[in-house]
Amino acid sequence: MSLLAIVLPVFGLIAIGFAAARTGLIKDHVGDGLSDFVFTVAVPCLLFKTLATADVPEASPWSYWAVYFAAVIVVWASAHMIVTRGFGRDKPTGTVAGFSAAQANTVLIGIPLILTTYGDAGRVPIFLLIAVHLPLMMSAATLSIELGGSERGDFGETLRKLAVSIFTHPIIIGILLGLVWRFTGWTIPAIPFQILDMLGSTAVPCALFSAGMALKRYGLAGDLRITLTVSFIKLILHPGLVFLFGAYVLHLPPIWLGAAVLFAACPSGINAYLLANRYGTGVRIASSSIALSTALAIISVTGWLWVLTRWAPV
């Protein structure tokens, strides 16, 4: 029951958002606006306030990053190989499949899930992963597709656009500003702090509701075998590897281990669809993987929470 008390409110808000969009109670463009608010205002404010004010523990983040991204490399390569060699798709499509299997919905689902599970103690692990997850994943996916196609355009121009898109991303800006503020040693004045706190507190419910509304547009299409394979790798293999590496190889602290596993257990992120749509390849694989993995995540996340409570080293 304690696990359900964590999972059901999170996925309940997703279900309500989906129902609101499905019934037409709230129009699709409203969902788009809500998602923009989450990405450009609420989450950056939450991350800025967290980084500027949190007590960062002495533990090194390198082992935390190593655990998570070692698993990313394995699942990305596995999905890519299965789709290209097993299903006979081209390399750019394999990149989309690998990206869908390795890139988690960290903002709309990961942050609310970890904050619900660990409270304020989960804020620092959230920041440490969000800070590198978006730049690394988007850069790797973009470069993989560009290098895999002989006629994709000017590679130098691609790098320039990639750098601009990363360093003008609101979440990255929020992190960088929080980092700069922390190094100044200044305290945040009372009224600005209250504003940041109010905006940041909207991140969790708005993110989950907008994730549900976004789910309405992603139906199951294309080869169901590929979608099932990508979803299995995303929901089972990825968090499983993170758990094994973090619990028994590099021995992460319990909350850091839990945050890494729950991040990995999140369904495929919307960035997979945006990447596929931008390059015109693997669009159905990305959209179907988002829909199916999100629908199944309520079961898999509950299972991983149980694993963390029963099998994680203390």
Structure token pair of residue 15: 């279900």
- 53-70 pLDDT, tens digit each: 876 665 578 999 999 999
Confidence (pLDDT) at 58: 58
- Provide the domain count of the chain: 1
Q: Once rounded to an integer, what is the mean pLDDT over residues 247-254?
A: 93
Confidence class for position 154, pLDDT limits 50, 70, 90? low
**Integer Cα distance of 15 and 208 in angstroms:** 9
**pLDDT for the residue numbered 150:** 44
**For position 52, what pLDDT does the model report?**
86
**CATH number of the domain within which 306 lies:** 1.20.1530.20
Q: Which domain holds residue 292?
A: 2-311
Residue 140 sits at φ, ψ, to 5 deg, of: -65, -45
Residue 163 has pLDDT above 60, yes or no: yes
Predicted confidence (pLDDT) at residue 20 exceeds the cutoff of 60 = yes
Residue-wise pLDDT for 182-204, tens only, equals 888 888 999 999 999 999 899 88
Which of 307, 292, 180 has the alpha carbon at shortest distance from 229? 292
- Residues 277-283, mean pLDDT to the nearest whole number: 82
Q: Which three-class secondary structure string do you get for the chain?
A: CHHHHHHHHHHHHHHHHHHHHHCCCCCHHHHHHHHHHHHHHHHHHHHHHHHHHCCCCCCCHHHHHHHHHHHHHHHHHHHHHHHHHHCCCCHHHHHHHHHHHHCECHHHHHHHHHHHHHHHHHHHHHHHHHHHHHHHHHHHHHHHHHHHCCCCCCHHHHHHHHHHHHHCCHHHHHHHHHHHHHHHCCCCCHHHHHHHHHHHHCHHHHHHHHHHHHHCCCCCCCCHHHHHHHHHHHHHHHHHHHHHHHHHHCCCCHHHHHHHHHHHHCCECHHHHHHHHHHCCCHHHHHHHHHHHHHHHHHHHHHHHHHHHHHCCC
pLDDT tens for residues 214-242?
777 776 766 789 999 999 999 999 999 99
- Give the per-residue pLDDT at 156: 73
Distance CA(37)–CA(35), nearest Å, equals 5
Read off the pTM: 0.84
Give the pLDDT confidence of 77-129 residue by residue, as tens digits. 999 999 999 999 988 899 999 999 999 998 889 999 999 999 988 888 988 89
d(CA 75, CA 55): 33
Task: Flag whether pLDDT at 151 surpasses 60.
Answer: no
Q: What percent of the chain has pLDDT over 70?
A: 94
- Residue 155 is predicted with a pLDDT of 65
pLDDT value, residue 87: 94
